[in-house]
Every structure is written in C-alpha cells, then in structure tokens.
Amino acid sequence: MRLSERALTIKSSGIRRLFDLAQRTPGIISLGIGEPDQDTPPHVKEAAKRALDEGYTHYTPNAGFPDLREALAEKLRRDNNIDVTPDEVIVTGGGGTGALMLSLMCLVNPGDEVLIPDPGFVVYEAAVLMAGGKPVYVPLREEDDFRMLPEEVERRITPRTKCIIINTPSNPTGGVLEEEDLKGIAELAIRHDLFVVSDEVYEKLVYDGHRHVSMASLPGMKERTVTVNSFSKTYAMTGWRIGYAAGPKELIDQMVKLQQFTMVHAPAVSQRAALAALKGPQNFVEEMVKEYDRRRRFIVDKLNSIEGLSCIKPKGAFYAFLNIKGLGLSSEEAAMKLLERAKVVTVPGVAFGPSGEGYLRISYSRPIDQLEEACNRIEVAIKSLR
C-alpha cells in the first residue's frame, strides 16, 4: 500500500505506546496518561442526560450552540481578561487538540516555521507537520523552571517564522510562564509580525500563589493570538472531546469553515454538558486543585528522597518532570526498566522533544495511596539497578 508521506513522517505517540503495553501487564500503576482521576461533576452528567431526553442528538451549528459561545465569551472576559464577543469563539470537536489543529491549519502555509516548546505536548510537532509547517524547537531548561524564555525564542526567529506555540501551565513539565516571560514573547511577536497559539488547557491548575495570565490579555496581543482551551482537565471531561478557541473573527470564521469539512461540530450532548460546567457551581474545580496540590507536594518530596533522582516542584498542571540523569540510562530505557521491575508506567522525556532526554514525566493525577505505592516500587527498582 502506498501511504502518504504525511502519515508516514509523523511518529506514533510515545505515551500511547507505553499505555498500550501497560494494558497487557497485570498489577500496573500508571503514572503515564495525563487525565484527572476524578469523575465528571454530577450536575454536568445530569445536564447531558437531560439533553438526550430533550432531543439534543442532531446536528448543531458548526461553531457551536450560540448560548455556549456566549457563555465562553463571558468566561474569557471574566477569568482571562480577554475582551471577546461570541463571534470570536469557536467550540471544537476533539477537545483542545481539535482547536489547536484547526488553528494551525488556518495559520500555517507549507514551509512556514512554527516555534514549539521543547519539551512540549506531543501533539505540537505532529500538528505543525500535518499543517505543512516546520516545527522549530525552543529548549526549556530545568534551571529556568522549564519556562520559555524570550531570548531563546528570539534566537530561533527567521524570515520563515509564522507563529509561536506557548503552553502555560506546561505539559509535560508543570512549568508556568511568568507575566514578564509573556510580555517578552509578545514584544517579539509584535516586532516580527508573528501569531501566537496559546495553549491554556491547564489554566486553573496553578499552585503556590502563581497567577495564570493569558497572552491575549496583553496590550496588542488580542489581534495576533488564538487562545486554545478545553473542558477536559478543568472539569474532568477528557472523554467528552470538547474544546474551544478564541481569536480574531477573521481567523475564527476560517476555523469554523474548516470544521465544517472535518469534525463538523462538537457533539451536541457534550456542548450541553459544557454549558452546565460553565454555568454551574465551581467548587469541584477548587477542591480538585487543592487535592492536586496535596499530591504534588507529596510526590515531589518522595521522589527527591530516592538516591539518583531529583525533581523540582512544578508550579502548575499535574505533572512532575523527574530528572533521571544520575541513573546513566536514557529516558526510554529508564521508563522500560520501571515498567518491567516496578510495574509503574512513566513517560520517557524524549517523547516530548530532544530536550526531554534525561527526564521522565510523572502524572500525579492518582490517589495518594497509589502515588505512595508507586514511589515505593520505584525506589526498590532504582536500588536494583545499582
């Protein structure tokens, strides 16, 4: 069979490969897949059930139900300080990944360069390639708390650069961009006439008094930023596959057009559930963040007590990026050893880009007792390697 170069060029996700292997291994504790262990809030599920009974099983507007777009615009004005109208918002199928893909399909021409964080979410590189662009890595370093520094961005800007993808809080590192970082990147975007794709899926998951700042809220950036988000992490709705994006109307109109011919629209029932999530009580989110903070403190302390490992305290999301350079193994070798000897799933840092080598991504979206057992197993396995 003669398959397309596009499909053959893109590598399978390192996360999914390990996940598939773990599915076949009994007694596994998975710290690999990045999704909340909490269930979707009851009032959101009830809204979905009502929607089914009320006949929300048909096509919807391609851009999403008007009342949901209005609620999202209100949320963006209130929580993100982005002054948008419903016409500047699209509800997307496929979660935040769908919003990201549509954004790049509308922004990138063949050969355009797109700056992406390294290490960064595995979808970025693949999405840029599928859009016909060339991904250019911007290294994030542990000594900088895995922040994307403006000076590193500037070094990689060329006449072919079209846009910059930023992600705060970060998957996989848990790093959070400071407002000064964002201002520096914004100044570069304005000076070089670049567009910014701002992935803010983990916006609510910040700790230690850190404040999430949206790129589009900065002066001069609303007209050159698309804000990508979803309901997956904030409301434990990963399986509902609904996301959204906000940006200039000219861009959003084109994204709606492309969605017509790809995903068509986000699922009708998921849209009604998303509206209930936005309009309903937010105490679920507040309690979830408190619980993640407790787990974060626990697992970082525990991992740092194991000889040969070190881990800085993440400022956001629900990931710890574990430094394994003291083990003398590659990240893929270390992940496989922990799977074989400890029955613990982690993700090799190199799956997120070249700068991820020497690290493992650990998801602490698991109950404390499972995190403790996993860390105990890891400690025993590490000792057996010496």
Give the type of residue at 228.
V
Predicted confidence (pLDDT) at residue 385 exceeds the cutoff of 90 = no
Cis, bond preceding 119 (omega within 30 deg of 0) = yes
47 within domain boundaries: no
Q: Are residues 209 and 76 in the same domain?
A: yes
CATH number of domain containing 23: 3.90.1150.10
- Residue 233 belongs to a domain: yes
Q: What is the pLDDT of residue 22?
A: 74
Residue 25, domain member (yes or no)? yes
| pLDDT in the model for residue 386 | 73
For residues 257 and 305, membership in a common domain is answered with no
Compute the Cα dihedral for 48, 52, 54, 58 and give only its sign: positive
Determine the 3-state secondary structure of 225 from DSSP. Answer: strand
**What band does 16 get if pLDDT is binned at 50, 70 and 90?**
low
Bond before 150 cis per omega within 30 degrees: no
Would residue 51 count as lying in a domain? no
| Predicted TM-score (pTM) of this structure | 0.95
Mean pLDDT calculated for residue range 333-341: 93
**What domain range includes position 36?**
5-40+283-384
Residues 356 and 244 in one domain: no
Give the chain's domain count. 2
On whether the CB atoms of residues 266 and 65 are closer than 8 A, the answer is: no
Q: What is the CA radius of gyration of the chain?
A: 20
Give the CATH number of the domain where residue 244 resides.
Answer: 3.40.640.10
For range 94-116, the mean pLDDT: 97
Residue 359 has pLDDT above 70, yes or no: yes
In this structure, the answer to whether residues 88 and 207 fall within a common structural domain is yes
Are the C-beta atoms of residues 126 and 10 closer than 8 Å to each other?
yes
Determine, yes or no, domain membership for 46. no
pLDDT digits (tens, 9 = 90+) for 188-216: 999 999 999 999 999 999 999 999 999 99
Q: Looking at 231, 249, 279, which one is the last position of a domain?
A: 279
Average pLDDT (29-41) is: 93
For the segment 138-158, what is each residue's pLDDT rounded down to a tens digit? 999 999 999 999 999 999 999
| 325 shares a domain with 198 | no
pLDDT tens-digit readout, 297-331: 999 999 999 999 999 999 999 999 999 999 999 99
Q: Say whether both 112 and 236 belong to one domain.
A: yes
Which of 29-33, 96-100, 191-195, 344-348 shows the lowest mean pLDDT across its residues?
A: 29-33
Q: How confident is the model at residue 21 (pLDDT cuts 50, 70, 90)?
A: confident
- In whole angstroms, what is the distance from residue 63 CA to residue 246 CA? 11
Q: Is residue 50 one of the residues assigned to a domain?
A: no
* Distance separating alpha carbons of residues 163 and 251, to the nearest angstrom: 14
Q: Are 135 and 121 in contact (CB under 8 A)?
A: no
What separation, in Å, do the N-terminal and C-terminal C-alpha atoms of the chain show?
47
Question: Of 229, 250, 279, at which residue does a domain stop?
Answer: 279
Q: Residue 203's pLDDT is what? A: 98
Mean pLDDT of the chain: 96
